[in-house]
Amino acid sequence: MTGAPYVLLRAEEEELRSHEQQSHSIPPSQPRLASLDVFRGFTVALMIFVDYAGSIIPFVAHAPWDGLRLADFVMPFFLLIAGISIGLVYKRVSHKIIATRKATWRALKLFFLGIIIQGSKDEDDKWLGMSQMAYIISI
């Protein structure tokens, strides 16, 4: 009796692996979107610049509640890149339900990992940071 569920799980696992190999492999004939890669690189460079120059140059640091500065564009840029990337991947994947489950599971793992790693330094800190909010949005 105990062997039957194991066989069923093993068969489901093999089926998922075959679907993953078929649906998640990107054919070499489809090149990457260069403009998205350039925008991603620009955003990473902007993030590094804002992180190091924010304390030196005032208009680069995060704005108070009622303003908008250069640092306030980094997170929306990353969310835009993530949304475009997900849309491009879903165009190529034939089994969208399996891909959605996989993406949701990955987002949940990253969400809880971020909560564990971030922790709370002060009593005033929120337990949800910007990363956790991005993972909630992606779910």
Q: Which residues are the active-site residues?
A: 62
Helix, strand or coil, per DSSP, at residue 55: coil
| 51-68 CB burial, b ≥16 within 10 A, e <16 | eeebeeeeebbeeeeeee
Q: What share of the chain is helix, strand, coil (3-state, %, to 5)?
A: 70, 0, 30
Q: Which two tokens stand for residue 67?
A: 């303003």
Give kind and range of the element (H or E) at residue 50: helix 34-53
